Amino acid sequence: MNNEFAAAMRRATLSTYALNLAEATRVIQDALANRAGSMEPEPTASDIIPPATKSRSKPFSVDPNAEVIESSARPEPASTRTGSSQPPRRRSLADTLRILSEGRASTGTLGSLSSGSLPGIAKRCLSPVIPEGAEYLARTFSCAAGTRGYKLYVPASAPGRPHGLIVMLHGCKQDSDDFAIGTGMNAVAETQGLLVAYPDQTGADNASSCWNWFRPSDQRRGAGEPAIIAGITEEIIREFNLDRSLIFVAGLSAGGAMAAVMGETYPDLYAAVGIHSGLAYGSAHDVVSAFAAMRGNAGSASRPKPLSGADQAGRVRTIVFHGNADRTVHPCNADRIVAATTPSRHASPVRNSGRSAGGLTYTRTLVADETGRTALECWLVDGAGHAWFGGHTPGSYTDPRGPDATTEMVRFFLDQR
């Protein structure tokens, strides 16, 4: 029995445990028919843009398993930095960095099974490995725009005076723990003494826990989800007295699209933005235009204007990752991000190619501003789908074959020259 067939049988078993017999049957039939599996975890457009709430009408198909599998429970709030979401599994710092660099984590009863195609089942059995001296806190933030829970990783290498902050926005059908494990961001941040915040979208605000990047009310400064994410960021900055030149935001898919929104609406707050398999700010203004943008037909969608003079602070440095075989968010969206974030005065783009340790080739494009600093970096990966490149397979929506997006993002963020 080959590895692909064995993996298919494990997926079918998990679907059976979840009482999703139709999915289990489909997986078995596909495996018996010897249909090649894809690294891409079979997301559909509805995984990115589901109805905003469960009570609203459903004008397009919604994943029938989303509400059964996904948990909408928010983490319990913690009033002090000594609290945590669950008893962490403590290891030495050296062991933790080694484990995370190898892509392994505490996986409960499911062993090393990747949750890429079943993000709602396996991920609840996963929890990030926390090194001795580090903290992984569950918190809640509230403001006039709403309430969201978030996890905060405090590095053991700089617990009292962290050097900066990365805000990580998960994709659809993910949560903070899943995203932390899949990206391995905690391990890389640990080496640099950086905090990492993982805001959680709720099932009440989006049936598949997607950030609502496509709604006009969530594309404006001082309102909606941007105000909540910015509020979380400001709260952490004040608490740890952080250097405001070392505040960054990044995301995957719908989270990548929301990271683009944050860079556009709060350019005075974030020094750099990372967009992985996402869309440019203003690509859509409703569900219909969002579908079109994801298919690569953004048309002439007008870019909403940020409020409070946010557009006067200039373009935020941006790094982009996208697979040219992405069937969920068309790779032309990477071109749109590049066009939107390229400085008005810049040197000619510099392109080079390479091959990742996992065997995928890529083209890397660099654009410098008038000072010579790299203002834009874009990685287009050949044959890659809708997943975090270089990610760890215990997390969902990851492709370990690609270049290490996490390490490259942090390198880009910290390159202030």
Q: What is the pLDDT of residue 111?
A: 24
Task: Label the pairing between strands 361-368 and 146-154.
Answer: unpaired
DSSP per residue over 65-101, as a string?
THHHH---PPPPP-SSTT--SS---EE-HHHHHHHHH
Q: What are phi and psi of 347, to 5 degrees?
A: -75, 165
Q: CATH second-level architecture of 45-414?
A: 3-Layer(aba) Sandwich (3.40)
Q: What is the pLDDT of residue 177?
A: 97
Q: What is the pLDDT of residue 66?
A: 31
List C-alpha distances in Å: 403 to 43, 84, 396: 21, 32, 17
- The residue length of the chain stands at 417
C-beta atoms surrounding 117 within 10 Å? 24
- Asked if residue 84 lies in contact with residue 136, where contact means CB atoms within 8 angstroms, the answer is yes
Residue 248, classified by CB atoms within 10 Å of its CB into exposed (0-12), middle (13-18) or buried (19+), is buried
Q: What is the pLDDT of residue 24?
A: 59
Q: What is the pLDDT of residue 132?
A: 93
List C-alpha distances in Å: 275 to 95, 128, 163, 301, 333: 30, 23, 22, 20, 11
Q: What is the pLDDT of residue 122?
A: 38
How far apart CA 266 and CA 306 sit, in angstroms, is: 9
Q: How many CA atoms lie within 13 A of 112 on its CB side?
A: 7
CA torsion through residues 399, 402, 403, 405, sign = negative
How far apart CA 233 and CA 259 sit, in angstroms, is: 13
Q: What is the pLDDT of residue 5?
A: 63
List C-alpha distances in Å: 398 to 2, 57, 153, 311: 21, 32, 21, 34
How far apart CA 228 and CA 148 sit, in angstroms, is: 7
- Is the pTM value of this prediction over 0.85? no
Per-residue model confidence as pLDDT tens for the chain (417 residues): 556 666 666 666 655 544 455 555 666 666 666 543 344 444 455 445 544 433 333 322 323 223 222 223 333 333 344 344 444 445 555 555 554 444 433 333 222 223 343 333 334 457 899 999 999 999 999 999 999 999 999 999 998 889 999 999 999 999 999 999 999 999 999 999 999 999 999 999 999 999 999 999 999 999 999 999 999 999 999 999 999 999 999 999 999 999 999 999 999 999 999 999 999 999 999 988 998 999 998 764 445 555 444 443 458 999 999 999 999 999 999 999 999 999 888 888 999 999 999 999 999 999 999 888 999 999 999 999 999 999 999 999 999 999 999 999 999 999 975
